[in-house]
Amino acid sequence: MLFWLTSMLEAYGWNSQFQQAFDALEHPDWLAGRVVAQKDYHYQIITRQGEVTAPPAGVLFHKKTTLDLPAVGDWVAACPRGDDYVIEELLPRTSVFVRQSAGRTSSAQVIAANLDRVLVVMGLDGDFNVRRLERFLVTVIEGGGRPVVLLTKADCCPQLETRLAEAQACAPGLPVLAVSAVTDQGLDQLAAYLRAGQTVALVGSSGVGKSTLLNRLAGRTIAQTQSVRENDSRGRHTTTHRELFLLPDGAMVVDTPGLRELQLWAGTVGLELAFADIFGLAEQCRFGDCSHELEPDCAVRAAIEDDRLDPDRLQSYRDLADEVERSERQKAVREQARDRRRKNRRDQRGRRFEN
């Protein structure tokens, strides 16, 4: 039985890197495990003792940011509390897919962690939007992930070659696949990115066919599906929580709810790599601080005039760069506010001690 549990933990991606990080905690009574599902602040974890449910310890809530809270895909250390367990520590992540929380809040929300690949899924219907694709690619790359662009519903797209070319132009050097869960088109190509022991995440809008594709890959129904509205191709939130599934071939897939918003949390590295074509052109400009507006010998503007660069792509880069800059300013303001609160608490404790 112990051999089976050990093998199961390794099947979920446990390796010497995580073992070393866990050993460094020096708590032999704790259990290492991987978060496979999250509902609010309760996490299902695969451990050597089997599957357990555990909340995070209070200390995690008082960490510096919400980035320190567990997410699906995380490797964690859980402490036994009677018959229950509590998550005490997160092991260092290899990658993370994170966005700024939806709505008016400006905190980070980790969607999934420790991903070998992130499949950015877009439907070849009314969902197709290359500007949104660029936003996803920046987010994936910034978190250390390796993106694969997955265009679903290829069986019902009469402009398939055109759409493929448009997606490839916005994802230079990255894999772009057109697939169909109905006809199995492209699934052989997709299998190359679903290797035993590796973890991939399906991310995209509602209704793009993430859950349908997952069911096809699993060979059975493991995720609920719903049809999209015909008038605008928008889907309903069939997947309501994030969950990691182990496929028969040994690959792991994280299914995520559709993301109606994807505000950038960070993106300096992601921008440079996702828009490597623009950065490469900018290096050829006469002036190092060229704004690509009126300066002479601007290679970026020349590429636009020669139809080698879509002006909409340049504008998309500028818009995303502005968004990243705003996000960084907001984070600096929040950090200053946290520092003031910590200082006030220390001062209050000091005054109580003096009295």
pLDDT attached to residue 266: 76
Domain range summary for the chain, segments of one domain joined by +: 2-90, 96-255, 268-344
Q: Residue 51 corresponds to which amino acid?
A: E
> What pLDDT digit, counting tens, does each position of 217-230 carry?
888 887 665 554 44
pLDDT attached to residue 309: 95
> What pLDDT digit, counting tens, does each position of 129-181 carry?
999 999 999 999 999 999 999 999 999 899 999 999 999 999 999 999 999 98
Cβ atoms within 10 A of the Cβ of 122, count?
23
pLDDT attached to residue 3: 46
Nearest CA to 293 out of 279, 308, 311 is that of: 311
Q: Residue 6 corresponds to which amino acid?
A: T
pLDDT attached to residue 233: 46
pLDDT attached to residue 1: 40
Level-2 CATH architecture, domain 268-344:
Orthogonal Bundle (1.10)
pLDDT attached to residue 232: 47
Please tell me if the domain spanning 2-90 has the same topology as the one spanning 96-255.
no
**Contact yes or no for 147/137 (Cβ under 8 A):** yes
Q: Which fold has domain 2-90?
A: OB fold (Dihydrolipoamide Acetyltransferase, E2P) (2.40.50)
pLDDT attached to residue 350: 64
Q: What span, in angstroms and rounded, lies between the C-alpha atoms of 96 and 111?
A: 8
Q: Which fold has domain 96-255?
A: Rossmann fold (3.40.50)
Burial class (CB in 10 A: 0-12, 13-18, 19+), 143: buried
The ranges of the chain with pLDDT < 50 are 1-4, 228-237
> Which tokens go with 93?
């992540």
Nearest CA to 54 out of 66, 65, 38, 68 is that of: 38
